[in-house]
Amino acid sequence: MLKLKNVQAFYGNIQALKNISMDVKEGEIITLIGANGAGKSTTLMTICGIVPIRSGEILFEGQTINKMPPNKIVALGINQVPEGRHIFPYLTVMENLDMGTFLRNDKDGIKQDLDYIFTLFPRLAERRNQAGGTLSGGEQQMLAISRAIMTRPRLLLLDEPSLGLAPIITHQIFDIIKKINKDNKTTIFLVEQNANLALNVADRGYVMENGVITMTDTGKNLLANEDVKKAYLGI
Ligand code: ATP
């Protein structure tokens, strides 16, 4: 579904991605793990067209997307929930969700997706008229994921959904991620610092160090890998 071929990206003189190649198959949950500053968020931002790539290629369903503007990439079915959520704090929950329907005009589909979201997150249904900025951190994460679902993505990119959340909320969010993957056959590309949780839900994982992919395997094998255990699982 998605292919990154020898992708290089820079911020000025700093090279953030050094020749990375990755592969995401339709229906999978894949995760990218790595330490702070490894280049994980940059990888997602290059896929979305926010950070330009200097060389290499990104293909979505066989089509080169690395020269497309972000709005075209969203229209193809790729959506990102960025690190820090970035909901609209002064808009209500409903208005935030409406923002996800910007490119849609299928009223029945929108209604159906809204019902689905309110079943996934009854808390958001209760608070539909509350300003986004007054929600708790966990609720804001739920809203950010829901707003992305409203775009009907086929590939959902999630950047650190566990950031700043209590363990119990994190587990709820990860259960929902698995459910979204199953219910709608949404392919998921998950960037996480919580390697243990991420590798447990992922079919496959990639490990990134200093802008380089150093390892890839099934989530299960990476969890059992001695180097991964030492560096990322604290075992
Ligand atoms: P974290 O887990 O801490 O969010 P990350 O793996 O997502 O880290 P990136 O945010 O992709 O890492 O950063 C990769 C490298 O690029 C880091 O060295 C970072 O300092 C640098 N970088 C990121 N954004 C910028 C920017 N806007 N300008 C300059 N350098 C940047």
Q: Which of 135, 125, 126 is nearest to 91 (CA)?
A: 135
Q: Which of 18, 20, 31, 42 to mutate to test the pocket of ligand 1 (most atoms within 8 A of CB)?
A: 42
Find where tokens 């926010």 sit: 50
Give nearest CA residue, ligand 1 atom 1.
36
| Model pLDDT for residues 8-27, shown as the tens digit of each residue | 999 999 999 999 999 999 99
Closest atom of ligand 1 to 36 CA is 3
Distance 151 CA to ligand 1 centre (A): 27
Ligand 1 binding residues, C-beta < 6 A = 11, 14, 16, 34, 36-42, 83, 193
Confidence of residue 235 (pLDDT cuts 50, 70, 90): low
Tokens of 85: 């959520």
The whole-angstrom separation of Cα 56 and Cα 107 is 39
Distance 45 CA to ligand 1 centre (A): 11
Tokens of 32: 């990218």
Q: Which CATH number fits domain 2-85+151-233: 3.30.1340.30, 3.40.190.290, 3.40.50.300, 3.30.360.10?
A: 3.40.50.300
| Model pLDDT for residues 25-53, shown as the tens digit of each residue | 999 999 999 988 999 999 999 999 999 99
- Residue 233 predicted with pLDDT over 90: no
Give nearest CA residue, ligand 1 atom 28.
11
- Average of per-residue pLDDT across 44-73: 95
Find where tokens 């994980």 sit: 40
Q: Are 82 and 159 in contact (CB under 8 A)?
A: yes
Q: Which of 91, 97, 174, 157 is nearest to 130 (CA)?
A: 91
* DSSP at 217: E
| Model pLDDT for residues 120-172, shown as the tens digit of each residue | 899 999 999 999 999 998 899 889 989 988 988 999 999 998 888 888 888 88
Closest atom of ligand 1 to 83 CA is 4
Distance 193 CA to ligand 1 centre (A): 14
